[in-house]
Amino acid sequence: MGVSSAFAGAVSTDSMGDEIVSQSKAAGLDMNFIQRVDRDPLVAIVPSSRPPRYFFAGDADLFFDPDQMPEGWINQAELCHFSCISLARQPLADRLVKIAHEAKGAGKRISYDPNWRNLMDSHYREQIFPAMTTLADMIKLSDEDLRHIYPGLTEHQAMDELRALNSQAQILFTRGEHGMILHTPDSQLEQPAIAVKVEDTVGAGDACMAGWLAAELLGIADLRERLRFSAACASISCCHAGAYAPALADVEGLLKLLIRT
């Protein structure tokens, strides 16, 4: 989306790793943060997309080495995003939590999307999730995430538990076709879902969060405009099979269409 970005992680040296590298270059990512390791590729198997179900195989991601990050990177960063199964797989999870602490200590903003998956366990719920939630300036989670993290609680009770961990973070709470709610420390803003012909919902949450972060970095200060931008990213992702990453032109085109109609 025209924002200077990088993916810090380890990928395999086979054809699947090559594809990730190729797509990363095409997306304009800073390639100095991607590490290549001679291990089996991390593969996500999606037996069902409605609702999404995932299984994972491979271990290349677990060999990410923070010591190989570019020297002085933390001084150049504006925002560090952490998400999903990377925080549920050891020893990678502990390495990433350490990086998050270091980034926070250096005055960098932290964003976090728990993105609940079936391999997350009680350790994740009781240790990793509270640690990352406490550090985060921005948290994005879905109604499904909230049900898994706080089983047996109502949505209101679960949100109270989340707020007890972090009273100041922006919380972007997504509800699929029912839109999203932005919880700030002193207000709530709602954004309806932007109706499109849905091809696949895989990756919609990631696109939504990417849009939320990119909108601010692109200079969109108004929170309602940022919410619309984020919703447009999610809807565009749903129009495509697989985890489609919307381009800035895609988002601007949809938003202009909404204005005209």
Q: 79-260: which CATH topology?
A: UDP-N-acetylmuramoyl-L-alanine:D-glutamate ligase (3.40.1190)
Instruction: Give the model's confidence band at 77: pLDDT under 50 very low, under 70 low, under 90 confident, else very high.
Output: very high
pLDDT greater than 70 at residue 49: no
Q: What is the pLDDT of residue 4?
A: 94
The mean predicted confidence, pLDDT, of the chain is 91
pLDDT greater than 70 at residue 74: yes
Neighbours of 66 (CB within 10 A): 14
pLDDT greater than 70 at residue 116: yes
CB 243 within 8 A of CB 237: yes
Quick one: tokens of 153?
């609680």
pLDDT greater than 80 at residue 260: no
Q: What is the pLDDT of residue 241?
A: 86
Q: What is the pLDDT of residue 218?
A: 94
Q: What is the pLDDT of residue 50?
A: 65
CATH 3.40.1190.20-classified regions of the chain:
79-260
Give pairs for 214-217: CB < 8 Å, separation 24+.
214/1, 214/3, 214/248, 217/3, 217/78, 217/79
Quick one: tokens of 146?
């909230």
pLDDT greater than 90 at residue 17: yes
Residue 140's SS3 state is: strand
Model confidence pLDDT, tens digit, residues 34-45 = 999 999 999 888
CB 153 within 8 A of CB 143: no
pLDDT greater than 80 at residue 163: yes
Of the candidates 245, 249, 230, 259, the one whose C-alpha atom is nearest the C-alpha of residue 7 is: 245
How many angstroms separate the CA atoms of 251 and 261, rounded? 16
Q: How many CA atoms lie within 13 A of 224 on its CB side?
A: 3
Model confidence pLDDT, tens digit, residues 205-223 = 899 999 999 999 999 999 9
